[in-house]
Chain A
Amino acid sequence: MTEILSLKHVSKVYDNRVQALHDVSFDVRQGELISIIGPSGAGKSTLLRCINRMIEASEGQILFLDQDVTAADKKQLKEVRKNIGMIFQNYNLVYRLSVLENVMHGRLGSYSTLQSTLGLYRREDVEEAQRLLQMLGLQDRLYEKCSKLSGGQKQRVGIARALLQHPKMILCDEPIASLDPQSSKVIMEYLRDIATSMNIPCLVNLHQVDVALHYSDRIIGMHQGEVVFFGRPQDLDDAVIEKIYGKGLEDLLRHGGQA
């Protein structure tokens, strides 16, 4: 299996001297779904955003398709970002625009400002967006404003937008943290399918250990900015969970939520 992404000794210290990431190393292979679990403030979101440089890492090397992302100039970075899809906890859609328009945003990188502003998208791109929305069960909502959709539907628009990028990898920042159990299941099934059938690796921040166990090929466990576990789901035993979540479930319940 080919490595798509490889992180080597990545650290991040914020301006206020908070060390968000400490010496993080791991790799992502073709077609894998990797979950990142850990309590709030473990650095999961920071880690994800360092990969496409929405946040700048302080130290270390990030190799994406054998290219050093940390050393990329503005133009190269744009190419890197075009190749990495991203899905968010709050869906991050432009709510006053329609479903189709939001999905088309996935292709912005290959259009000029004038073209995208006037909606001069190529026909094959629009057709592909429609196909993706059909696959995600949103074919009847193409022209509806995104603000009118339910949470699960919004996240499916987010997935379609990411897929239209033709990504080589997808980053998912707590994709199901704002969703009900049923919608969560649907979204996780889609991500699993994207990894397996489309061969696009997904790196997914999660805070539900059971979801991570069920859907992941490998799991990264983080605690206070450090990777304390990296392995297969079946190796994630109680001792490891305690290492990730500190004093175990009690702690987890107290912190609950999100990074």
Chain B
Amino acid sequence: MSYFREKRIRTAAFLIVGFLLTVAGSQRIQFDWILMITHFPAAITRFIQLYLPPDFSELGRMIQEMGVTVLIALAAAATGMILAFFAALAISARTSKNKTLTLIIRMLASLTRNIPEGVWAIVLLMCFWYGEFLAYLVMSIISFGFLARVYADAMDETSMDCIEALEATGASYWQIIFNAVVPETLPALISWSLYAAENNIRSSTIIGMLAGGGIGYLIGNYRHFRQFQSLLVAIVLVVAAVLIFDQISAQIRRRILQ
């Protein structure tokens, strides 16, 4: 009785806090619900005026640039994968040998992960040439930070048992890594790597706008020159690319998990 009552009270408290936060937030930014509702039809009309009909005249160039973007995204994911693998070995409790190194690498990974891609692009723009290389660099950094974390989590889940068994045969550290830890975690490693690549394609729009290169560069230009009808086509193209890649990686995952 009191158990369920407690649960009810907790749920109610949760909802009340959520409601209060919403009210407080909209007060702060002076959000006007009524204005929002009354203005809605006008906003729709404006959208239609600006973005429609879609302009396909530049589709060929867009597809070409989309290809460049996918290539950059995959290359960056690959770079991130390699670096993240070794970083994860230093981070995971199963595989780390040195506590100081663990701390340093974990902080490095956390730093790269917790600075958003837009900020990386802006910061690195000051140091490197605007263009495809910069986009690649930013995506590599983001992939590295993300993958180091999830790889380490996957390695933490390797059973201590097989590590112990290989240690008992006189196997070396790297033999244990490549003959026990990697085989046991491979599905997770591949799955997360595909996800990182997918993320890169998704964020290529914003990175391209800021750092240059690929479809993002085109999107930035369309926005700048108010070619909204082309902009819409480009955005739909990115969404389509992400969806296609998602399908492909789902197929790959299914194969490797068997």
Quick one: which of B150-193 are within 8 Å of A by CB?
159, 161-162, 164-172, 174-175, 178-180, 183-184, 186-187
Residues of chain A contacted by B162 (CB below 8 angstroms): 92-95
Are B165 and A108 in contact, with the CB atoms below 8 A?
Answer: no
| Residues of the B chain whose Cβ atoms lie less than 8 Å from the Cβ of A79 | 170
Measured CB to CB, the closest approach of chain A to B86, in angstroms, equals 14
CB proximity of A132 to chain B, nearest CB, Å? 14
Contact (Cβ within 8 A) A84 B168: yes
Q: Bound state CA distance, A94 and B187, in angstroms?
A: 14
A108 lies within 8 A of B166 (CB) = yes
For residue B150, give the distance in angstroms from its CB to the closest CB of chain A. Answer: 18
Q: Is B186 a contact partner of A105 (Cβ separation < 8 A)? A: no
A212 interfacial contact with B, CB 8 Å: no
Any chain B CB within 8 A of the CB of A90? Answer: yes
Which chain A residues (122-166) contact chain B, with CB distance < 8 Å?
158, 161, 165
Give Cα A92 to B162, complex, Å.
Answer: 5
A111 to B178, CA, bound (A): 13
Q: Is the CB of A106 within 8 A of B169?
A: yes
Interface string of A79-110 (1 = CB under 8 A from B): 11110111010111111110001000110110
Query: Min CB distance, B178 to chain A, in Å?
Result: 4
Whether A54 touches B170, Cβ cut-off 8 Å, given contacts A95-B184, A108-B179, is: no
Q: Do B170 and A108 touch (CB < 8 A)?
A: yes
Q: How many interface residues does chain A have, given as a range? A: 20 to 34
Note all chain A residues with C-beta closer than 8 A to B164: 54, 88, 92
Q: Within the assembled complex, what's the spacing in Å between the Cα atoms of A117 and B182?
A: 10
Interface size on B, residues (CB 8 A): 21
A52 at interface, CB cutoff 8 A: yes
Residues from chain A with Cβ under 8 Å of B172 in the complex:
78, 108, 113
Question: What are the interface flags for A4-38 relative to B under an 8 Å C-beta threshold, 1 for contact and 0 otherwise?
Answer: 00000000000000000000000000000000000
Contact with B along A48-88 (1 / 0, CB 8 A): 00001010000000000000000000000011111011101
Q: Is the CB of B183 within 8 A of A105?
A: no
Chain B binding surface, main DSSP class: helix
**Residue-by-residue, is A245-257 near B (CB-CB < 8 Å gives 1, otherwise 0)?**
0000000000000
Whether B184 pairs with A105 at a CB distance below 8 angstroms is: no
Q: What residues on B are CB-neighbors of A113 within 8 Å?
A: 172, 174-175, 178
Please determine whether A105 and B171 come into contact, CB atoms closer than 8 angstroms: yes
B174: A residues at CB distance < 8 A: 113
Chain A, residue nearest B171 (CB)? A108
Least distance between B14 CB and chain A CB atoms (Å): 40
Chain A residues near B186 (CB-CB < 8 A)? 96
Q: How far is the CA of A165 from the CA of B168 in the complex (A)?
A: 11
Contact B180 A81 (CB under 8 A): no
Using Cβ atoms and an 8 Å threshold, which residues of chain A touch B184?
A: 94-96
Known: A88-B161, A93-B162, A97-B183. A82 touches B178 (CB 8 A): no
The answer to the question of A183 belonging to the interface, with a C-beta cut-off of 8 Å to chain B, is: no
B170–A78 CB distance below 8 A? yes
Q: How far is the CB of B238 from chain A (nearest CB, A)?
A: 36
User: B166 to chain A: which residues have CB within 8 Å?
Assistant: 94, 105, 108
Q: In the bound complex, how far is the Cα of B180 from the Cα of A105, in angstroms?
A: 9
Instruction: Evaluate whether A82 and B183 lie within 8 angstroms (CB atoms) in the complex, with A92-B165, A108-B175 already known.
Output: no
- In the complex, A113 Cα to B179 Cα: how many Å? 9
Report Cα–Cα, A172/B170, bound state, in Å: 16
Bound form: Cα–Cα A2–B70 in Å: 68
In the complex, A208 has a CB within 8 A of chain B: no
Report A51 CB to chain B, min CB distance, Å: 10
Interface centre among B159, B170, B178, B183 (most CB of A within 10 A): B170
**Can you identify 9 A-B contacts, CB atoms within 8 angstroms?**
A85-B169, A92-B161, A93-B165, A94-B180, A96-B183, A96-B184, A105-B165, A108-B179, A111-B175
**Supplied contacts A81-B168, A88-B165, 15 more A-B pairs, CB within 8 Å:** A54-B164, A80-B170, A81-B167, A86-B165, A88-B164, A92-B162, A94-B179, A95-B162, A95-B184, A105-B165, A105-B169, A105-B179, A109-B169, A113-B175, A158-B165
Q: Lowest 9 CB-CB distances: which A-B pairs, in order?
A: A109-B170, A92-B165, A81-B170, A82-B170, A108-B171, A92-B161, A86-B168, A117-B178, A113-B174
